[in-house]
Amino acid sequence: MNKRIAVILPACNEEVTIREVILAFHASIPEASIYVIDNNSKDRTGVLAAGALMEAGIPGRVISEPRQGKGNALRRAFQEVHADVYVLADADLTYPANRARDLMRPVLDGDADMVVGDRHSGGHYSEQNKRRLHGFGNDMVRNLINLFFKSNLRDVMSGYRVFSRTFVKNYAILVEGFQVETDMTLHALDKRFRIVEVPIEYVDRPAGSFSKLNTISDGARVLFTIAQILRYYRPFAFFGSIALIAMLLGLLAGVPVIHDWLTHRYIYHVPLAILAASLGTVSVGMLSIGLLLDGIAHQQQIRYELHLLSQTSEPGDG
Q: Could you give the maximum distance between any two Cα atoms of the chain, in Å? A: 90
Determine the 3-state secondary structure of 4 from DSSP: coil
The CA distance from 225 to 183, in Å, is 7
Do 148 and 234 touch, CB atoms closer than 8 A? yes
Condensed to tens digits (0 to 9), the pLDDT of residues 99-121 reads: 999 999 999 999 999 999 999 88
* pLDDT tens by residue, the chain, 318 residues: 589 999 999 999 999 999 999 999 999 999 999 999 999 999 999 999 999 999 999 999 999 999 999 999 999 999 999 999 999 999 999 999 999 999 999 999 999 999 999 998 865 555 545 555 556 667 888 888 898 889 999 999 899 999 999 999 999 998 887 789 988 998 999 999 999 999 999 887 565 545 555 556 666 766 776 787 778 888 998 999 999 999 999 999 999 999 999 999 999 999 999 999 999 999 999 999 999 999 998 898 898 888 888 876 554 443
- Secondary structure (3-state) at 198: strand
Amino acid (one-letter) located at 252: L
Task: State how far the Cα of 169 lies from the Cα of 171, in Å rounded to an integer.
Answer: 6
The answer to whether 97 touches 27, Cβ cutoff 8 Å, is yes
pLDDT of residue 229: 73
**CATH architecture of the domain with residue range 5-233:** Alpha-Beta Complex (3.90)
Report which secondary-structure segment, H or E, holds 246: helix 235-264
**Cβ atoms of 39 and 11 closer than 8 Å:** yes
Q: How far apart are CA 279 and CA 74, in angstroms?
A: 43
What pLDDT is recorded for position 133?
A: 55
Cβ neighbours of residue 290 closer than 8 Å, sequence gap 6 or more: 235, 236, 237, 238, 239, 240, 243
Give the pLDDT of residue 297: 87
Decide if 176 contacts 76 (C-beta within 8 A): no
Question: What separation, in Å, do the N-terminal and C-terminal C-alpha atoms of the chain show?
Answer: 30
User: pLDDT, tens digit, for every residue of 266-304?
Assistant: 999 999 999 999 999 999 999 999 999 999 988 988 988
> CB of 50 within 8 A of CB of 130?
no
Query: Phi and psi dihedrals of 261, rounded to 5?
Result: -70, -40
